[in-house]
Chains A and B, each alone.
Chain A
């Protein structure tokens, strides 16, 4: 009886851990490979001149807009987003967005920056061919 009681929770424990592990991979898996469009920093609330660096990916164009203020977008070869590949393009307010395909097709970190002291909701979209 004692054996039954101690073995069953262990089996349950193992099953639970496996299930959680599977869920982890399932939920955090990247977008489908066939998608040519992927969001980055989409809906991100940025504070004072804050920039948001998206997960790295293969891309050849970036689109960006801010709900409240202007934004700048660029592709970066570093995870800090401080190196600029190609040019930087910026919008001047919430009524228009900007896009940028000066970086060439490669593996980059997409970056979007709030260009104001006030809070700004950022929307970034990365494209690949």
Chain B
């Protein structure tokens, strides 16, 4: 009888452990991401190059004809901006032509445009952030970059800034601050920017010219 009891108890423990084991495999809460984490060598810019290769068949308009800004003079990006691009994208081999940059001034700070090998990026040197997409996608919908500052002291507040470039046909974009109503922000020289204490999201490209 003892052995039967022991056998049944062992079975019970095994049955109890199975769901716990499954739980550990599936992960709990944020731990779930750990299970799906991938050790991958392709950098973010590599993946965008793959996307650009897939979109190469699309009839993408020349960005110069879509963006007046890009018809202006080019210049090599400053070393500090090149460093931001390299550091942000995690590689010096970005395929971007940093000798043909274009400076874009906005109310919230300067942006640098760089392109190359089917990709276009905007870099914001002050906050050290970069946003990239394929030229085909940028021709369709522009490019957006969101920045938020990380407070170093308790009394400091987080600040959010939305930057972007849009084609000539867009004269205003609709931005939403926090959970507030979306409002139009005028586009000047293909660029827009808005800073706030709450997240600023691009809602719509707004009216066309």
* Chain B residue contacts of A93, Cβ below 8 A: 87, 128
Chain A interface main SS type: mixed
Contact in complex: B37, A41 (CB < 8 Å): yes
Expressed in whole angstroms, the minimum distance between the Cβ of B191 and any Cβ of chain A is: 16
Q: Mark A2-18, 1 if CB is under 8 A from B, else 0.
A: 10011001101100110
Quick one: which of A73-99 are within 8 Å of B by CB? 74, 79-84, 86-99
Query: Known interface pairs A24-B23, A42-B30, A61-B201. Does A98 touch B150 (Cβ–Cβ under 8 Å)?
Result: no
Q: How far is the CB of B51 from chain A (nearest CB, A)?
A: 5
Knowing A20-B20, A82-B47, A96-B128, the reply to whether A49 touches B88 (Cβ < 8 A) is no
Instruction: A6 to B51: give the CA distance in the assembly, Å.
Output: 63
Option from B19, B39, B141 in Cβ contact (under 8 Å) with A102: B141
Q: Is the CB of B20 within 8 A of A55?
A: no
Contact among B22, B130, B137 for A90, CB-based, below 8 A: B130
Contact B130 A96 (CB under 8 A): no
Q: Which one, A61, A82, A92, contacts B42 given CB within 8 A?
A: A82
Taking residues whose C-beta sits less than 8 angstroms from the other chain, chain B's interface range is 35 or more
Name the CB-closest residue of B to A97: B148
User: Do A21 and B19 have beta carbons less than 8 Å apart?
Assistant: yes
Question: Residue B128 contacts which of A6, A53, A55, A95 (CB distance < 8 angstroms)?
Answer: A95
- Could you give, for residues 2-17 of chain B, a 1 whenever the CB lies within 8 Å of some chain A CB and a 0 otherwise? 0011001101100110
Which residues of chain A come closer than 8 Å to B44, judged between CB atoms? 72, 74, 84, 88, 90, 113, 115
B15 adjacent to A115 (CB under 8 Å): no
Q: Which residues of B contact A20 (CB under 8 A)?
A: 15-16, 18-20
Cβ distance A22 to chain B, nearest Cβ, rounded Å = 9
B43 contacts which chain A residues (CB < 8 A)? 49, 72, 113, 115
Residues in chain B within 8 A of chain A (CB atoms): 1, 4-5, 8-9, 11-12, 15-16, 18-20, 22-23, 26-30, 32-34, 36-45, 47-48, 50-51, 83-84, 87-90, 127-133, 137, 141, 143-150, 160, 199, 201-202
Interface residues, chain A, with chain B CB atoms under 8 Å away: 2, 5-6, 9-10, 12-13, 16-17, 20-21, 23-24, 27-28, 39-44, 46-47, 49-55, 60-61, 63, 65, 70, 72, 74, 79-84, 86-102, 113, 115-116, 127
Known contacts A16-B12, A99-B148, then 9 further A-B pairs from the complex at CB < 8 Å, ordered by chain A residue: A13-B8, A16-B16, A27-B29, A91-B88, A92-B88, A98-B145, A98-B147, A102-B133, A102-B141
